[in-house]
Structure 1
Amino acid sequence: MVAAADRDTKRPARMSVWLDGKAATSRGRRPGGDQPSGLDRDRITAATVRLLDEEGLAKFSMRRLAAELNVTAMSLYWYVDSKDDLLELASDAAVGEVPLPDEAEDGDWRDRLRRLAEGYRALLVRHPWMSPLMGRFLNVGPHWAAFVLSVQRIVRSTGLPPDRQTGAIAAVFQFVYGFGTIEGHFLRRCEEAGLSQDEYFRYAMSAVDGQPELAPMVDSAAEMVAARGGGTVEEMRDRDFAFAFELLLAGIEAMSSGDGT
């Protein structure tokens, strides 16, 4: 247990750049003083996203970002307090790339949910650094809030009772999160190895086939793999995603119609 004196002096847990008032300041600048010329928070955030895409989360630093922008690292602190603030701003900017259904759209909820899920999957593949950040921040920036609200509205329109709606959201979007995260990391491994997806897959499968202790797993999967058919890695992955997503939609439909328990 923490001693009383320690509890009294312990710093409060960091919440969010969107909740501490800093994000609301004019273009993110601190009040007073001479701010560095040529910088603003939008430009800094865009450069952060670009660097994270190119080099990954592990290599990102304020010093590296400053070099990219041709400024001193201290210049960045006129606009943000920490690297965490920048990562949270970058995450919100990136999720703004996901196309959201029109609020006035009267289309089938399945189509709207499918399009939103496909956009979310593409986001995770395009920006593989995002997945480890999602549980790190509250995700309450303007783009994240718009995304979550869109999800909520679609799931409400399914006919599921309110006590089952959060479970449906978890089933759909945690599935997409896992699928898109693995896909994004696989693509990064292929790039680092200098191989195409199909080349990397063949190389990996040949290595697995040469391990007798893995034979039971390989043999067990052989029938399913054969039934799925050939094609490129991308085609097989898209086929699996589409079918898995249809299973989720069917489950939601069954529960909303009273056929489920």
Structure 2
Amino acid sequence: MARASVWLEGKARKGGRGGQPSGLDRDRITSVTVRLLDADGLDKFSMRRLAAELNVTAMSVYWYVDTKDDLLELALDAAFGELRLPDTEDGDGDWRDQLRALATEYRALLVRHPWLSPLAGRYLNIGPHSLAFSRVVQQVVRRAGLPAHGVTGAISAVFQFVYGYGTVESHFAARVAAAGMTADEYFNSAMDAVTEVPATARIIEESRDLMAARGGDTVAEMLDRDFTFALDLLIAGIEAKVQRPERGAGNCATSHDAPAPADEDAPPSS
């Protein structure tokens, strides 16, 4: 059996049962849950901790949600509601720009809420905000001109990359915070440490030219440059598939899907 979902069992719209405690509602409970997950992390979150933050008993929360899983699934979809989605109904706008915007939004969401990536892998992601995001992504990628059988593969290539990149970036941010340093201090400290060990120092020396060519004076700039370049590679791959479809698949290229001019200032990838 697939894991039960709050969205499939009719519990997501439940506003509380008769006799529920006053001063509470599901939106407030979900909002505080998101705030606690941001502050304490997924491992430390508990219904008891939530109740204390709401200044109610733990049992009071259960007037509004049946289980902790239900609440986490509601929090997951609430986070997806933060994504700024382009208007795709009229079909205007360059699909490349819109895809870059969606990927950048999703990356930022994963970094902003480190608990989101494990929950996204645990639940079905069928809440209204998650579905709205998926729908817009599909509409944008459809306009690239790929054959129908290639659309989901293109979506997977882009957004599984973003999921992985954002997840690793959020882990790095957590290590930085735990060390009580800035990202740049942590990076420089780590680089100093690894260059003192012969085995790792040799590898670092071999990649020194790549690190220099990568560009960026700060960790944030380096992360942004790598993300942008990798995303450009994926979009270029979609364009290449449109212009040179598989043999027998028919010519799916269209005049408005010609590859964009190369950006002479694009940084090399490490």
> How high is the TM-score relative to the length of structure 2?
0.88
Spell out, residue by residue over 1:99-154, the C-alpha distance to the aligned partner (whole angstroms, 9 max, x if none).
01102251110001011111101101110110111110001000001000011111
SS in structure 2 opposite 1:23? coil
Structure 1 consecutive aligned stretches of length 4 or more whose deviation exceeds 6 Å: none
1:212 and 1:170 map into 2 onto residues whose CA distance is: 39
Aligned position for 2:46 = 61
Aligned position for 2:251 = none
1:229 and 1:35 map into 2 onto residues whose CA distance is: 57
Spell out, residue by residue over 1:157-187, the C-alpha distance to the aligned partner (whole angstroms, 9 max, x if none).
1101111111100110011111111111211
**RMSD, aligned α-carbons:** 1.4
Q: Which among 64, 80, 84 is matched to residue 95 of structure 1?
A: 80
Aligned position for 2:120 = 134
Residue 226 of structure 1 and its aligned partner are, at CA, apart by: 1.8
Residue 259 of structure 1 and its aligned partner are, at CA, apart by: 5.8
1:49 and 1:240 map into 2 onto residues whose CA distance is: 29
Are 2:184 and 1:195 equivalent residues in the alignment?
A: no
Task: Describe the shift of the 1:259–1:60 C-alpha distance in structure 2 as closer, same or farther (beyond 3 A).
Answer: same
Q: Which among 18, 22, 32 is matched to residue 11 of structure 2?
A: 22
Unaligned runs of 5+ in 2: 248-270
AA at the equivalent of 1:39:
L
Bigger fraction of residues in helix: 1
Residue 17 of structure 1 and its aligned partner are, at CA, apart by: 0.2
1:259 and 1:212 map into 2 onto residues whose CA distance is: 48
1:77-226 correspondence to structure 2 within 5 Å: 77-103=62-88, 104-226=90-212
Q: Report how many residues are paired.
A: 246
Q: In terms of mean alpha carbon deviation, does 103-112 or 45-54 score higher?
A: 103-112
AA at the equivalent of 2:78:
A
Contact 2:216 2:225 in 1 (8 A): no
Residue 232 of structure 1 and its aligned partner are, at CA, apart by: 0.6
Aligned position for 1:51 = 36
Spell out, residue by residue over 1:184-203, the C-alpha distance to the aligned partner (whole angstroms, 9 max, x if none).
12112212211111000001
Identity of aligned residues (%): 65
AA at the equivalent of 1:19:
L
Task: Describe the shift of the 1:105–1:157 C-alpha distance in structure 2 as closer, same or farther (beyond 3 A).
Answer: closer
Residue 222 of structure 1 and its aligned partner are, at CA, apart by: 1.6
1:173 and 1:110 map into 2 onto residues whose CA distance is: 14
AA at the equivalent of 2:49:
R
> How high is the TM-score relative to the length of structure 1?
0.91
